[in-house]
Structure 1
Amino acid sequence: MRSNAGSHEVERFGWIHHSTIQEAACLTFVRGTDIDPVAEAFGAVSDYARELDFDEFCEEAFAHHEQYSMIGIQVFGEWSLVVEDNGWQGTRDEVLRRVSAGTEAVSAFWNVDRLTRFSYAVDGELWTAFEAPLPEYRVGSRPDALEGVRAGMSWSEAERESGTVPLMLALAARITGQTLTPSRFEGDFVTFPVAAWPDDLRDVPDALDRLDGRFPRELIEALRVADDVARRRAAVAVARRAVQSAECLDHPVISAVLASAADGGTMDRAAISEAVREWTWLLHLHRATSKVRNQVRAAEVLRQATHDDPLVAVFTTLSAASHVRGLENGELASVVARALVDRLD
């Protein structure tokens, strides 16, 4: 790795401050030249693929940014370059995990609020990520993975002189061996709207404490002493009540996921996640009725019921169910109480 680079290494990316994407963008470099799996990993809707020049792409992205994100892809040497104008999909774990499967991905993000994020993922795993001004505060499974690459970049000096965006692009160039220049944005990009992947299911510390005040104390104590089988049963019962209330219990994906839970099997998280993703996209694409929006919220309750930790699943299903029209905490408390003693409706 180059370790004696001066400020010129960063300054050569100063053109970004005068470009179309100077204020807010996310650039993701993915090793490989097949753009189809890259687009799929971002959640691209392939039926709406179009070839646009960069200015046309930015205009389209701006016109639709309140509804959905857009990406533009070009092959860049041995890499594929994914551009988002005022987007952030390339910063998300949900995307980086997918797009780096079997390869590697580098992303640089910035916005008008001066927020930044540099990420590096390999083989479906986020190795390291940090805010550009604060590389000492790193997260990921291998937070020090790029420290050897970063060596000698005069990080603080470069930040003062050229700003954090050129700094991130200089680091990306060290990793990829590709120097981003204004000419890279000439020619057509293959562009797609994005049906975003749902957020990963997160751990929730002190889940029971978070229910305090919303549900009876005796119910919280019953959850505290219940085993995982009973807790899972309670989470599924809340999800079942939500989809019943939203009148989508008979949807094939929902009924199949619930059937597997009733049989004691593993619920297909991927199937319900894909369904939530597709239905959310349709909400953006078409003028949906309040009933359809409610059904998407109910499907999200079922997705939350698949959390690996049954206790967290109870908390997140109850939280998500509060957004389903017609469901009240009192009714949900009764559903959980019945499920804990194996009295399912």
Structure 2
Amino acid sequence: MLVDEAAGPIAAAIPLIAGRIPETPAAALGRLRVVADGAEPRRRSAPGPRPAAGSHMRVQPGPDGSPALEALGELPPLLVERLLGALELTVPELDLAGVPDLSGLLGKPLNGGFGIGVTEGTSDAVRGAALLERIRPGAVPLVAALARRLAAHPRVAALLAVDTAITGEREVAAAHGAARLALAVSAAAAVVRRAGVQPPAAGPPAVLGVAIGTAALLLREAPMPPGYAAAVLAKTRAEYVLPLGAGGTAEVRGHRFALLEGDGAPDVDFGDNGLVAVVPGGVVIRTGVESGHVRFTLRVLEEPPPDVATGWEEIVEVSWRAAAGGASVAGASAGGFGPGGPPLRAITPPWPGDYRLRVHARGRDDTVETENYELVVWRAPAAPAVVHARTDRLGHRLRGQPEPVRHEPPEAAYRWLRGSSLEMAATVTVVTGTDVADVLRAFGADPDRPESMRAMNEDLMARRSTDPWVAVLDRDGAVLAVEYNGWQGSTRPVLTRASAGGRAASMYWNVNAVTRLSFAEHGEVLLSEEPFGELDAPPRLTEALAGLDFADYHRDKTMLGLVAAGRFTGHGITAEDLARVEDADIGFRIVPHLPPLYPYRARSGAPLGTVIEELAGLPEPALRDLAWWAAAESARYAGLGEDPDVAASVAARALTADAHLRARRSQLDGGEHPWVWRALHRATNPDPLAAVADGADAARHAAGPHAANLVADFRTRITALAKP
């Protein structure tokens, strides 16, 4: 038989090849079955039926290409390149003369023209294997068929078995992967050498490309070695370090999710404590939502938590016994916290025994917000369940108790934001003591130039622009300004102008959970900062901030900020207000105000370095001369030296009205010469040292390719001025 004849030479070649395969890429191949079983299934062609023992091998190329080539294309490029580099010189050394000629099983060679499209950087192994399949149809499937048959042959199968003396996870995976890759390489070399093709379709890269793809197929199908599970467990235990934490979302079905060693969440009775039920191998947790997802965090500690957390509506502590350890949050997605965060599968300690679990729940009664849970696990002897908190209505119903009367927190008035068009990112500004037109002017918009919000937004999205715009609504005593994914209402220039006749307050938030809460009165900004913890607020804001705990991460900072803004101005935004804004479909483009200018502050990495400190004792006129020289030089390098607005501003040492407007417009998408205008603007800083330092920074950007010349001239002038 052909397979019997081939088995001897192939078996002789396997140890030589396997010995030259580096451990790291071999282990990556060896884990392919684990990856296929534990991750999302990859799209690949079915391997097809295996030939029966004693039958002739018949190979026909499939209409969609070879499964081995698909498997090769799905591997990480760096893995393929490492294997190519390791084995490219080994292929010519192989003595496979005893393998029978199998070329008669192939289709007819190609006798016409063809084309193959490859991207830049494609591996020679991938390119060569694809070329071989085109020139000699059926060669690649023949290699896979031969390798499969040989893997079952006694002489070869013995070489594929991993030595039981090997116990490390990496070592077992590497031996498993190297043996099957060595089989595939020898099979590929035997077939390709007699396929009647010339390099590059028959060179070592082509042979190895076919072999690596074939090995990937074999390794996805082959069971892991008998000792692999024990090796993985030993590795997991050796690397398991406490404390650890992870978080994400858990899928809910039938009002429950679970922390289990197995799969699924069994149907159980929650009448005992209304939150959690112990089952074999873990626990099941009762949710308010019937199906969907809930947010959770999970912490595994060495010892019991020192205190019982506050801010949760239900807290129940139970014991459960782990049969093997390594329980998972069923249906969980997302990753751990921080670099190297643990996965959500098998996250509890990988040892059997008794464990304690404290389940915290919040939001089970809420039909709008996502529910939140915190699971805290530690090792402890079995003990009776303990209820630390039981305040939500669902828990009372499940326990058969009368529901409590609960007072809604003030931020509940803004739950409508969830699912609204403002949910992800926006700024809401409330202004009193003025009218719509003046609010628009304060923002830098022209009240006489309204546009369709939808059309304006579509235009900006098509250009991928972040140019600002605002919509306004007259609320009988207050003006609401709404920015979708904008932030101008949180800036000091806008707050200063808008509050000139009364008060202004704004809340800004974005998709990255960055927020800013701001208050201004009669042209003075009272507070504008990220609301974390206790705010450093003046007495005038005491009433607006009373009872709003921004340090409580269970409470929504955006909603708390809107409560404070509404209290301060006497007006808050409602869902009906937003509907009126969107029904009107009227918005106004903003020409942003120039940013505030701040006093000089030394900072590391400044373009002029510490030499700027030498100017601290110079008189103000000398510093002003230097700042405006830099501004004029930036304009000259940019070709604007003769521009009337620039020249007039340099002469006046202040931005003229026309120059001021051009400087503002330069900040918009596609604005002209933004760094020149920034240099001119920064030269007007009331602090002369800041005018020099910040103006120099803008000027070097404006100078573009001549930045080095400008900085050199700047340093020369500084040195000359600093001399006694």
Q: Which residue number in structure 2 is paired with residue 289 of structure 1? A: none
Does 1:194 pair with 2:590? Answer: yes
Secondary structure in 1 matching 2:593: coil
Deviation sequence 1:118-158 (CA, Å, 0-9, x none): 11111111112343342x133xxx6342112322456666x
Structure 2 distance, partners of 1:95, 1:260, is: 26
TM-score (norm 2): 0.39
Write the distance in 2 (CA, Å) between the matches of 1:132 and 1:64.
Answer: 33
Q: How does 1:1-345 map to 2 (within 5 A)?
A: 7-32=408-433, 34-46=435-447, 48-50=449-451, 52=453, 66-134=465-533, 136-138=534-536, 143-153=538-548, 160=554, 163-187=556-580, 188=584, 190-206=586-602, 210=606, 213=609, 220=612, 223-261=615-653, 267-268=654-655, 272-281=659-668, 283=670, 293=672, 295-324=673-702, 325-335=704-714, 337-338=716-717
Q: Which has the larger radius of gyration?
A: 2
TM-aligned CA distance change 1:132 to 1:222, over 3 Å: closer
Is this contact kept in 1: 2:430–2:571, CA < 8 A?
Answer: no
Change (3 A) 1:154 1:228: closer
Q: Please say if residues 503 and 521 of structure 2, whose CA atoms lie closer than 8 Å, have aligned partners that are also in contact.
A: yes
Higher helix share: 1
CA distance 1:222–1:183, shift in 2 (3 Å) = closer
Distance 2:718 2:486 in 1: 42
Report if the CA contact (8 A) 2:429-2:504 is conserved. Answer: yes
SS of the residue aligned with 2:577?
Answer: helix
- Preserved CA contact (<8 Å) 1:71 1:84: yes
Cα deviation, residue 95, structure 1: 1.5
Partners of 1:326 and 1:310 in 2: CA distance = 27
Do the aligned partners of 2:504 and 2:569 also contact (CA within 8 Å) in 1?
no
Q: Work out the percentage of aligned pairs sharing the same amino acid.
A: 27
* Alignment CA distance shift 1:338-1:40 (3 Å): same
**Secondary structure of 2:670's match?**
helix
Distance of 1:197 and 1:128 partners within structure 2: 19
Q: Is the contact between residue 430 and residue 572 of structure 2 (CA under 8 Å) also seen in structure 1? A: no
Deviation string 1:142-195 (CA, Å, 9 cap, x unpaired) is: 6342112322456666x62x5222222222222233343211122315311222
Distance 2:656 2:597 in 1: 10
What is the number of residues matched between the two proteins? 312
Amino acid at match of 1:333: A
Deviates more, 1:103-112 or 1:164-173: 164-173
Unaligned runs of 5+ in 1: 262-266, 285-292
Alpha carbons 1:61, 1:70 under 8 Å: kept:
no
Deviation per residue, 1:4-23 (Å, 9 max, x gap) = x9534321221111211111
Residue 110 of structure 1, CA deviation = 1.3
Contact 1:29 1:105 in 2 (8 A): yes
CA distance in structure 2 between the partners assigned to 1:179 and 1:314 by the alignment: 43
Across the aligned residues of Structure 1 and Structure 2, the Cα RMSD in angstroms comes to 3.2
1:31 touches 1:79 (CA, 8 Å); kept in 2? Answer: yes
Q: For 1:340 and 1:153, locate their aligned partners in 2 and report how far apart those are by CA, in whole Å.
A: 54
The CA deviation at 1:237 is: 1.0
Q: Which has the higher contact order (CA 8 A, sep 6+)?
A: 1
